[in-house]
A = this chain, B = another copy of it.
């Protein structure tokens, strides 16, 4: 249903993202380069949470002509993270994964078999967290929550 609508929405959202990024760069006297654009685009297009390495591979695949270096990926991710345009996740495994921070807030549920990450939001938990921080005298800034388990698809595989 509504694949045309979805596409339109996504395009609009990406344009906004891109324009935010350009403003951010301009405000800081930084330059808008093809590499930076491609990195933002890949982060946007990917449904996955990407590691610097997987992002780098993706870019080399889609834009081999650019010959983008991994150092540029790291530098751009830092830049985006500092500006709070992307968020980094570090769940147990070594190395961080990145996701666009422009998305709405959500938490993660991670499959311990295949490493797949899904997202969810639960209002009840969200409100409870605020209360807990208050009770402990903290000024809450952010929070994150992860549930670990076995996803439907891995459960099916295991039964075979």
Q: What B residues does A91 contact at CB under 8 A?
A: 90
Of the listed stretches A7-15, A41-49, A147-155, chain B binds A147-155
Task: Say yes or no: A138 contacts B111, CB within 8 Å.
Answer: yes
Q: Identify A144's interface contact among B120, B129, B145, CB under 8 A.
A: B145
Q: Identify A150's interface contact among B109, B118, B139, CB under 8 A.
A: B139
Q: What B residues does A92 contact at CB under 8 A?
A: 88, 90
Task: Say yes or no: B143 contacts A146, CB within 8 Å.
Answer: yes
Q: A92-B90, A128-B124, A145-B146 are in contact. Are A136 and B109 (CB under 8 A)?
A: yes
Interface residue A142 (Cβ < 8 Å from any Cβ of B):
yes
Task: Say yes or no: A149 contacts B145, CB within 8 Å.
Answer: no
Q: What B residues does A149 contact at CB under 8 A?
A: 133, 138-142
Interface residue A72 (Cβ < 8 Å from any Cβ of B):
no
- Interface size in chain A (residues, C-beta < 8 A): 34
Q: What B residues does A133 contact at CB under 8 A?
A: 109, 147, 149
Interface residue A102 (Cβ < 8 Å from any Cβ of B):
no
- In chain B, what residue has the closest Cβ to A151? B138
Interface residues of A in 83-105 (CB under 8 A from B): 88, 90-92
Q: What B residues does A136 contact at CB under 8 A?
A: 109, 118, 120
Task: Say yes or no: B141 contacts A155, CB within 8 Å.
Answer: no
Identify 15 new A-B residue pairs, CB closer than 8 A, beyond the known A109-B133, A120-B132, A142-B149: A88-B92, A90-B90, A90-B91, A124-B128, A125-B125, A125-B128, A125-B129, A128-B128, A129-B147, A138-B147, A138-B149, A138-B150, A143-B147, A144-B146, A144-B148
